[in-house]
Amino acid sequence: MTNKQQSKPSREQSIRRAYKAIEQMQLGEREAEVKLALKALLVIRGALNPAVIDETIYYKVAKYIRASNAETLSALVDDVLRNVSPEFISHFALGDPVQDVYAEESAPKARTLLQEEIIPLVILMKKVYQKYIEPEEATEEEQAEEEASHA
CB 62 within 8 A of CB 122: yes
Residue 141 lies in a domain: no
Residue 43 lies in a domain: yes
Q: Quote the pTM value.
A: 0.81
Does the pLDDT value for residue 134 go beyond 90?
no
Helix (H) or strand (E) run with residue 43 in it = helix 31-47
Residue 129 lies in a domain: yes
Does the pLDDT value for residue 150 go beyond 60?
no
How remote is the C-alpha of 3 from its chain's centroid? 28
Tally of structural domains, the chain: 1
Interval 17-65: pLDDT, tens: 999 999 999 888 888 999 999 999 999 999 998 889 889 999 999 999 9
Residue 24 lies in a domain: yes
Residue 143 lies in a domain: no
Does the pLDDT value for residue 120 go beyond 60?
yes
Task: Print the domain residue range for 81.
Answer: 10-135
Residue scoring higher pLDDT (61 or 151): 61
The pLDDT of residue 137: 56
Residue scoring higher pLDDT (28 or 3): 28
Residue 49 lies in a domain: yes
Alpha-carbon distance of 147 to 151, in angstroms, equals: 6
Share the mean pLDDT of the chain: 84
Residue 5 lies in a domain: no
Residue 113 lies in a domain: yes
